[in-house]
Amino acid sequence: DAGITQSPRYKITETGRQVTLMCHQTWSHSYMFWYRQDLGHGLRLIYYSAAADITDKGEVPDGYVVSRSKTENFPLTLESATRSQTSVYFCASMGDAYGYTFGSGTRLTVV
């Protein structure tokens, strides 16, 4: 299916565990992004990537790691999950124009 796919849709993990959220896009868009969405804060950029092997920090990068070895994949890893990282995570890509296409999100709960 064409589009942007996130997995898993839901995840519960324990404090201190490493968690990886997956993102895959089928368009070969250069830019990809990870956002978190929290009540009262809206969407906040965690990391973004301009191309394979090029990544940069966003507004709230602490505690997160990204990689982009292939254009179509942009995984986000929480190295040691904390309760403050409980959130809904959205992956997005951007083509030629400046509009984003978002995935359906991963709802992460850290207990």
Partner 1 sequence: QKEVEQDPGPLSVPEGAIVSLNCTYSNSAFQYFMWYRQYSRKGPELLMYTYSSGNKEDGRFTAQVDKSSKYISLFIRDSQPSDSATYLCAMTAHTGGFKTIFGAGTRLFVKA
77 is a contact residue toward partner 1 (CB under 8 A): no
Among 19, 74, 76, 103, the residue binding partner 1 under the rule CB under 8 A is 103
Q: Rounded to the nearest 5 degrees, what angle is found at the Cα of 69, between the Cα atoms of 33 and 93? A: 25
Contact flag: residue 53 with partner 1 (CB under 8 A): no
* Size of interface with partner 1, in residues (CB under 8 A): 19
**In angstroms, what is the minimal distance from the CB of 80 to partner 1?**
27
- Residue 97 interacting with partner 1 (CB under 8 A): yes
* Binding of residue 104 to partner 1 (CB under 8 A): yes
Backbone angles phi, psi at 106, to 5 degrees: -120, 125
Q: What is the DSSP string of 66-109?
A: E--SSTTB--EEESS--GGG-EEEEEEEE-SSS-EEE---EEEE
Minimum CB separation from partner 1 for residue 76, in Å?
A: 15
Tokens at residue 26, please? Answer: 């089928």
* 43 Rama sector, left if φ>0, alpha if ψ -120 to 50, beta otherwise: beta
Q: Which is nearer to partner 1, 67 or 104 (CB)?
A: 104
Q: What would the x/- binding string for partner 1 be over residues 13 to 42, using CB under 8 A? A: ----------------------x----xxx
